[in-house]
Structure 1
């Protein structure tokens, strides 16, 4: 009986988790086409110009002028960026080492600006003397150059009023997904100037056909402040109210499955404000500085890093504190981080993420063997007591109070804990759930092949072989445990459970199904070993 309860517990947990994932997902995606990144140079489309609602407003701001702009390119070995000379916004970001579709030539694009869908990184200077206060400036772009240290650099220049010169310098280091953005303001006047940096990410609040399957993961804005290290602020939140948080340090980001873009200012001793805006169907999450003074006859420099790329924890942690939390491991993150570290360690040995999952499963199940043994031993003891419990029920009839007292005395005399089969199971669940998040969130598994027909561990099994094997292993595990159920309905439910769970798992990423299948095989092996030992004690 305890074995069946355990299986039901696992099944109900899986179903509940799926329902929770569905509830947590903000919007059902509606595909929108993504065209190829614009070539260079190209005139920026007039209907794509930022409106006055697209940037944080200061006194005296007015809509953008109609001066024409064009697009320029900045690239390194990881990224190809398209920059609009109006505002110096990054309106295209192609990830060179990530295919949109496995085996395809087309590269994955994050930032894009197309009819019906926007995803762009904007930045500038506002405030009384900011270059973006009256309208978005149209910069003069130099040719992208390669510096002596290998960095790729693009310099944008704008001549403001009274001889004030604004420069926006974008730098990409080799092998990095970080765009260092530096604003240089040269003030030739006899009066100090006041400017404020802003960096924001604008994204249409539905999912395009980007080649990324979300599997119910969160898509939308997040931010970090002194008081909130990692906080989601979804598209509905942006629509309902404008975010406004003051902080000393922080960042803002836009998440989707496996990938992230984030602004992280690098301003010493300058307070920041985290904010959100709604612009038509586009949501904006941004961060701006308090006023910075540019001295008379002097200059000032304001710097921020823009990350645009995969959710690589080491790379994210190097950009800003707590930015690695955008790899969302849920409330069991402390267990998930250890398991991910272990998974990476195993991958370094076998050089195959599928075999690394198999080895991780073996290690996890091996470490939990004492709990598993305690669980099955307790279940065996409970089965051994069934004849005595039946005798008590026959003798005491429907007297529930006496029956309860007699059962507790019997458990005490026989040294059996009726909850002994459940408690080890409950201790195992945090590990199983934490591992689920690891396999769900790890970009390393995206389009990662295993063997034979499994070419992408982040996608479902194309031939449903693993779900069938999983269901078969679950059925065999059931058969190892003699049923004590007498209710025909309960018996039918238990018989159908492997089939039901197999259908559920048919749509899970194959890496997850691989874990559960191997886990079942290990569990069956452990059961056979444990039952062999119990037989010698007369408990089987």
Structure 2
């Protein structure tokens, strides 16, 4: 790989970092947290981690009375590989246990059950609920708050066309049992919590919202603040058309969506509402992550979505419909459910490329039966499609390399006159028909595809727990052992070696100085270092890309002749050749004098 190739790779890496930074900084408009009545720790939720795992919650404010001490009642509902655990403590879902290949518990660090109804965003649900109905398809909770508002929550498994084992419906009804009007914009449904599977994960959990089709996410590290902002205990924002909100980790999400019922059945709805979120510090002093990198500042994130404004006359009832998706971030599954739930994939600015690539990768998996083979097939397809661009780039760069000695002579000759040197170099380009950007432009066209496929592999929940050869899980590094305490990851090592081989296979220009050669030799080691703990799916993609590029360079060297550097022959001035269909007797035919066109610069 020559200098321009490495420049493009550096641009790719810088672009990924900048894209991730901008994504993490896309904060909603915040409002100040409540100043008084702060509580240092929230009560642990049923089903929260045991073994002494304590959670430091964000500051909360409670206006209602403390939760009455009443016996807890529980109920479980199973749909496919998903088990929903319900509790009367908060009248909601204490946890969601995913079976099958997922083997994960959602809302494990939540301070309340999902669906708990808060009277303010950072509060809790103190209502003493009781179960009034339950079956193997749902459950009903009823209770009355301190203001005399009777609350009825009906959870039911989704059925019909737009159904999924990870989707459950929630119908919540508020009835004013008092004799006075009741108005409030401060009713919030708790959307649960999300956390990383390991404290050293690069992608941190985040909360998100969709405002009339405009979806945004905010990562936990955004609460730290920065040069232009201070640390924040919580974030919140108001929206006129809030479609959904929730939390997510790298591979899993909880989406709490507004819905409405019309003649066609249930469908998504945009309603006035608010989104609130805060982070939760997880204590790893008594679990398997004790002492692991990042464990001292490992945060979960929690969120709540408000109901539309409540306005109840005496004895009046207001009913709102919601749906909760709790499961893997699989683009096809979320796209099938509709309501723009697939937006939570957050592929970035090249999402329009990522989405068809995701579909194509699933086709490759259906064909091969293995996700590792699907990634290899996808890489070969992408590189084959880009072959003409890559070949054109290499051919142009070889011509530039042959022109380099002449350019060096010009620069030495006019070293005291940079302007004249530049003019002479441009003349060389024109005389020899060399386009100075002919090698870079085709490679730059490949960057969007690289970003797009990188985003697909980074967020594909389908890869979790899937193996390939010695790789046990394509979503994490392919560690096969340890040497002197350091993990041994074969795929990144193969990636680094193929980078070196690719660089050696491509001759470097004779004009490259000593400092540039040192930089080129260090580059493979640098990239090996930053990519060593990449998910094995990404390392596999990059390694196969390098191997393909080596084969491509070898084939071009064998079958495509080396370019010759010779001056462009300019056309001599003279009369243009006659048109064979020209009839001088026809008055409509006029003898037009052709103008001499200047030659175009070649690539």
TM-score per shorter chain, which class?
Answer: 0.7 to 0.9
SS at match of 1:489: helix
8 Å contact kept, 2:310–2:318: no
Q: TM-score, normalised by structure 1?
A: 0.79
Q: Which protein shows a greater Rg?
A: 2
Deviation at 1:517, TM superposition (A): 1.1
Pick from 309, 319, 327 the counterpart of residue 309 of structure 1. 327
**Is 1:289 paired with 2:279?**
no
**Is 1:111 paired with 2:101?**
no
State how far apart, in whole Å, the 2-side matches of 1:171 and 1:495 are. Answer: 61
Q: Which moved more, 1:387-396 or 1:493-502?
A: 387-396
The count of aligned residue pairs is 493
Deviation at 1:350, TM superposition (A): 1.0
Deviation at 1:15, TM superposition (A): 5.9
Pick from 505, 520, 527 the counterpart of residue 553 of structure 2. 527
Task: Report what 1:468 is aligned to.
Answer: 493
Task: Report what 1:404 is aligned to.
Answer: 422
Deviation at 1:370, TM superposition (A): 1.4
- CA-to-aligned-CA distance 1:332-360 (integer Å, 9 cap, x gap): 11111121111112111111111111111
Q: Which moved more, 1:315-324 or 1:275-284?
A: 275-284
CA 1:240–1:485 in structure 2 vs 1: closer, same or farther (change >3 Å)? farther
Pick from 250, 256, 259 the counterpart of residue 266 of structure 1. 259
CA 1:134–1:518 in structure 2 vs 1: closer, same or farther (change >3 Å)? closer
Q: Which moved more, 1:478-487 or 1:455-464?
A: 478-487
Task: Report what 2:597 is aligned to.
Answer: none
- CA-to-aligned-CA distance 1:242-271 (integer Å, 9 cap, x gap): 523132341111121101112112247884
Task: Report what 1:504 is aligned to.
Answer: 530
8 Å contact kept, 2:400–2:436: yes
Pick from 384, 388, 399 the counterpart of residue 402 of structure 2. 384
Task: Report what 1:482 is aligned to.
Answer: 507
Pick from 186, 190, 208 the counterpart of residue 200 of structure 1. 190
State how far apart, in whole Å, the 2-side matches of 1:478 and 1:330 are. Answer: 31
Please list every run of 5 or more consecutive structure 1 residues that lacks an aligned counterpart in the other structure: 27-34, 40-46, 56-60, 100-106, 128-132, 147-151
Alignment of 1:214-225 (within 5 A): 215-225=201-211
- CA-to-aligned-CA distance 1:73-126 (integer Å, 9 cap, x gap): 322223222323133132222112245xxxxxxx3111125xxx6474234386
State how far apart, in whole Å, the 2-side matches of 1:266 and 1:23 are. Answer: 31
Task: Report what 2:171 is aligned to.
Answer: 182
Task: Report what 1:518 is aligned to.
Answer: 544
Deviation at 1:21, TM superposition (A): 4.7
SS at match of 1:112: coil
CA 1:473–1:280 in structure 2 vs 1: closer, same or farther (change >3 Å)? closer
Q: TM-score, normalised by structure 2?
A: 0.71
State how far apart, in whole Å, the 2-side matches of 1:108 and 1:135 are. Answer: 26
Deviation at 1:474, TM superposition (A): 1.3
State how far apart, in whole Å, the 2-side matches of 1:378 and 1:309 are. Answer: 49
8 Å contact kept, 1:119–1:203: no
SS at match of 2:2: helix
Pick from 393, 403, 410 the counterpart of residue 375 of structure 1. 393
8 Å contact kept, 1:274–1:286: yes
Task: Report what 1:122 is aligned to.
Answer: 115
State how far apart, in whole Å, the 2-side matches of 1:121 and 1:369 are. Answer: 50
Pick from 431, 440, 446 the counterpart of residue 422 of structure 1. 440
- CA-to-aligned-CA distance 1:485-525 (integer Å, 9 cap, x gap): 44223222212322322232221111111111111111122
CA 1:72–1:416 in structure 2 vs 1: closer, same or farther (change >3 Å)? same
**Is 1:79 paired with 2:79?**
no
Task: Report what 1:140 is aligned to.
Answer: 130
CA 1:481–1:317 in structure 2 vs 1: closer, same or farther (change >3 Å)? closer
Please list every run of 5 or more consecutive structure 2 residues that lacks an aligned counterpart in the other structure: 26-43, 49-53, 226-230, 262-268, 282-300, 481-488, 567-603
**Is 1:14 paired with 2:13?**
yes
CA 1:191–1:317 in structure 2 vs 1: closer, same or farther (change >3 Å)? farther
Deviation at 1:295, TM superposition (A): 8.3
Task: Report what 2:39 is aligned to.
Answer: none
- CA-to-aligned-CA distance 1:208-232 (integer Å, 9 cap, x gap): xx63577422412111113733343
Deviation at 1:283, TM superposition (A): 4.8
8 Å contact kept, 1:120–1:203: no
Pick from 518, 526, 529 the counterpart of residue 492 of structure 1. 518
SS at match of 1:385: helix
Task: Report what 1:339 is aligned to.
Answer: 357
State how far apart, in whole Å, the 2-side matches of 1:22 and 1:189 are. Answer: 51
**Is 1:171 paired with 2:156?**
yes
Deviation at 1:142, TM superposition (A): 4.8
